[in-house]
Amino acid sequence: MSDFREQALKYHAEPKPGKISIEISKAAETVKDLALAYSPGVAEPVREIANNIDDVYKYTGKGNLVAVISNGTAILGLGNLGPMASKPVMEGKALLFKRFAGLDSIDIEVTHRTTEEFIDTVANIADTFGGINLEDIKSPECFEIEKELIRRCNIPVFHDDQHGTAIVTAAGLLNALEIQGKDIGNAVIVCLGAGAAAIACMELLIKCGAKREHIYMLDTKGVIHTRRNDLNKYKELFANNTDKRTLEEAMEGADVFVGVSGPDALPAETLKLMADKPVIFACSNPDPEIKPELAHAERSDLIMATGRSDYPNQVNNVLCFPFIFRGALDVRAKVINDEMKLAAVQAIRAIAKEPVPQAVLTAAQVDKLQFGADYIIPKPMDPRLLSRVARAVAEAAVASGVARLPMPENYMGSEL
């Protein structure tokens, strides 16, 4: 067994299996404490909530609690391995919610027969939580699931692989294109993958200025074009009126490659076909579409990002989901809308252009980080992500009319 594999298994197994636990937040030592916490004291908040349902936010942990819900059908880039195999990833997302945004989070893995059964299961328990983060649910089912849950639930529902990924990709790509001296409106973009992450990334890039007709999206059968008759309605939106059919043909002259497909899916020699100063985002986890060392060996004028934390430029939804939920829950937003997503894009990309605090350099184990080819996007452990992104998201929720509460006074204090 490799050293790293052994370490990873040990990390998860010892000293106690798993990565999260539940702690109590009130005194529960004496007979008086128990009388307050349980019977008879607990009856008082019960009566209050029965009279005014919004009091559930006042007397319980609902407002700070996010459910991470999966069915294990698209676990990272590892595939459909089932609900139980997804549990380490979902516990990991819960860990990140707590570590980076102070949100309590619990993982829920759902076994189901039909899409309707999954939707019913989640809708029926949704009121327990302040928000729902859907994770690693394969396309095309994920689109219907998210749409229907947003319609049925009274709290924000957000499919992280779609929108978290899209927000971070857009932030990183806008910065990378700026460094390469390119305009997103003119950029030719190849998107390998046509699932949850791909469709959402490309839709958000279009909202940021990319041209739909400049996008070549590919699935396992090749380029998605107008003469294909095997496309679902989500892929159809990206059917390009083109004669290109293969990855090699799509890469010819392209400015940007976004990989949200699977491991080692991009042959190194195709990089030579791209335009000058290209941008390569190989975001499949844990193994990217192309390894950075192979890409850099192929040409020296590219900007390279992966989804991993052990290379420069980690384009991963961890830079978004803890903070977008923090902002949304703090103003009790009904939904997470486009205004909030675009505010998160701008807040994330702005941080990368500023001097990096020493604490971040220390955590990243580097001496220096400066906006440029090897630093297009902040590090996940940058504390400014919490204050800046959450604030931008909360303000956008209030301004766009989806917040149930006003901006909290002195929000995030002086942490800006």
285 is in an annotated binding site: yes
How far is the C-alpha of 340 from the C-alpha of 334, rounded, in Å?
12
135 is in an annotated binding site: yes
Taking each helix axis as running N to C, give the angle between helix 160-180 and helix 321-330, from 0 to 180 degrees, rounded to the nearest 10: 110
Is residue 122 close enough to count as binding ligand NDP by CB under 6 A? no
Among positions 280, 317, 342, 386, the unique one binding ligand CC(=O)C(=O)O when judged by CB under 6 A: 317
Which of 50-58, 86-94, 258-266, 336-344 is the region at the interface with ligand NDP (rule: CB under 6 A)?
258-266
Residues that bind Mg ion (CB under 5 A): 136, 161
Judged by CB under 6 A, the stretch of 89-97, 107-115, 237-245, 310-318 that binds ligand NDP is 310-318
Choose, by CB under 6 A, the member of 313, 316, 328, 375 that binds ligand CC(=O)C(=O)O. Answer: 316
Closest CA to 107 of 90, 123, 121: 90
- Residues with Cβ < 8 Å from 300, sequence gap 6 or more? none
The pair phi, psi for residue 273, each rounded to 5°, is: -80, -15
Give DSSP secondary structure letters for 202-250: HHHHHHTT--GGGEEEEETTEE-BTT-S---HHHHTT-B--S--SHHHH
Please tell me whether 136 is known to bind a ligand: yes
Residue 288, binding choice from ligand NDP, ligand CC(=O)C(=O)O, Mg ion, none, Cβ under 5 to 8 Å by partner class: none
Determine if 72 is a binding residue for ligand NDP (CB under 6 A): no
Shortest distance, position 263 Cβ to ligand NDP, whole Å: 7
Number of residues that bind ligand NDP (CB under 6 A): 29
Residues annotated as catalytic are 38, 93
* Structure tokens, 77: 């880039």
Please count the CA atoms within 13 angstroms of the CA of 178 that sit on its side-chain side: 15
Say which amino acid occupies 74. Answer: A
- Member of 195, 307, 312, 380 binding ligand CC(=O)C(=O)O (CB under 6 A): 307
Quote the CA–CA distance of 170 and 184 in Å, as a whole number: 10
Strands 303-306 and 131-134: unpaired
Return d(Cα 346, Cα 391) in angstroms, integer. Answer: 12
Which x/- pattern over 70-109 shows residues binding ligand CC(=O)C(=O)O (rule: CB under 6 A)? ------x---------------------------------
Q: CB atoms < 10 A from the CB of 205, how many?
A: 26
173 binds ligand CC(=O)C(=O)O (CB under 6 A): no
Query: Cβ 296 to ligand NDP, closest distance in Å?
Result: 19
Q: In this complex, which beta carbon is closest to ligand CC(=O)C(=O)O, that of residue 159 or of residue 391? A: 159
> Which is it for strands 222-223 and 215-219: parallel, antiparallel or unpaired?
antiparallel
**Residue found under tokens 């989806």:** 402
**Amino acid identity, position 59:** Y
331-370: contacts with ligand CC(=O)C(=O)O (CB under 6 A): none
Question: Between residue 135 and residue 164, which ones bind ligand CC(=O)C(=O)O under the rule CB under 6 A?
Answer: 136, 160-161
Nearer to ligand NDP, 262 or 312 (CB): 262
Select the span of 148-156, 188-196, 296-304, 368-376 touching ligand NDP (CB under 6 A): 188-196
| Cβ-based neighbours of 85, under 8 Å, separated by 6 or more | 72, 75, 78
Of 257-286, binders to ligand CC(=O)C(=O)O (CB under 6 A) are: 285
Could you tell me the CA-to-CA distances from 40 to 30, 33, 36, 60, 145 in Å, in that order? 14, 11, 7, 16, 41
Of 415, 407, 410, 409, the residue nearest 333 (C-alpha): 407
Closer by beta carbon to ligand NDP, 165 or else 175? 165
Give the list of residues 6+ apart from residue 249 with CB closer than 8 angstroms, or none: 223, 243
Secondary structure (3-state) at 328: helix
Residues 143-182 that bind ligand NDP (CB under 6 A): 161, 165
Using DSSP's 3-state secondary structure scheme, residue 376 falls into coil
Nearer to ligand CC(=O)C(=O)O, 285 or 387 (CB): 285
338-351 and 196-207 are packed helices; what angle lies between their axes, rounded to 10 degrees? 80
Based on CB atoms, which residue is closest to ligand NDP, 260 or 394?
Answer: 260
Q: How far apart are CA 385 and CA 388, in angstroms?
A: 5
Positions in the binding site for ligand CC(=O)C(=O)O (CB under 6 A): 76, 136, 160-161, 285, 307, 316-317
Q: Which residues are annotated as a binding site for (S)-malate?
A: 285, 316
Positions in the binding site for ligand NDP (CB under 6 A): 74, 76-77, 138-139, 161, 165, 192-198, 218-221, 260-262, 265, 283-285, 307, 315-317
Q: Which residues are annotated as a binding site?
A: 135-136, 161, 285, 316
